[in-house]
Amino acid sequence: SGWADKIIPYLDIHRISYKITEKDSTIDCSFYKFSNVKLASGSYEGCQRVNSYDISTVIRKEYFRKGSLIISTKQPHYKILIHLLEPDAPASLLTFGFFNAIFEQKEYGETYVLESLAREMLKNNEIKTKFESFKANNPKAESYEILNWFYLNSNYSDPYLNLYPIGKSY
C-alpha cells in the first residue's frame, strides 16, 4: 500500500526479503525529517536527484495500513537494503529522487488567516525565538514566504511534509 508498491520491485531485484502486513497497526518508530532540501536543477533519465538536505530524527507512534512492509535487517542482503533505504547512502532511492513527492508542499494557508495566526503564534516565546532565527537567516524573505513559515510551524501544517516514509522500529 502507498510506497510499498513502489519499493517492492527494488527489493525483489536485490533479493531482499520482506513481509506484507495483513492488518492495520500502530507502531512506535523513528523517522527522518528533512529540511533545506535542494534538488538538482534538471533531471537525468526521469529522475531529479536530491543534492543536499539537513536531516533530523523524529520518534512517534505511526499508523500503518494493511499492506505495509516490514523489512528486517537480519538477512543476507542487509547491506544492499541499507544502501537502498538509508537516505545518506550514495545510491539510495532518496538520492535518486524516488521519494521527491514528500518534499512537495500541497497545502497552504490563506493570507487573511495566516496574518492573525502569526500574531497569535508570536505570543509564544519559543515560536518567537524560532521566527527571529528564520528572519535572520532569510533577510530577503517576501511576505508570503514569511506567512508560510507560520503555517509550516503551526498545528495545521501537513505532518508528513518532508517526512521520510520509512520508519525504523527496534
Angle between helices 111-121 and 143-152 in degrees, nearest 10:
60
Do the domain assignments include residue 53?
A: yes
Same structural domain, 92 and 120: no
- Residue 133 domain boundaries: 111-152
Return the pLDDT at 1: 55
Query: What local confidence, expressed as pLDDT, does residue 57 receive?
Result: 97
Query: 33, 55 in Cβ contact below 8 A?
Result: yes
> Do residue 29 and residue 80 come from a single domain?
yes
CB contact set of 143 (below 8 Å; sequence gap of 6+): 111
pLDDT along the chain (170 residues), means of 10: 89 97 95 96 90 96 94 95 96 94 90 90 95 94 91 90 94
3-state secondary structure of 34: strand
The per-residue pLDDT for 122 is: 96
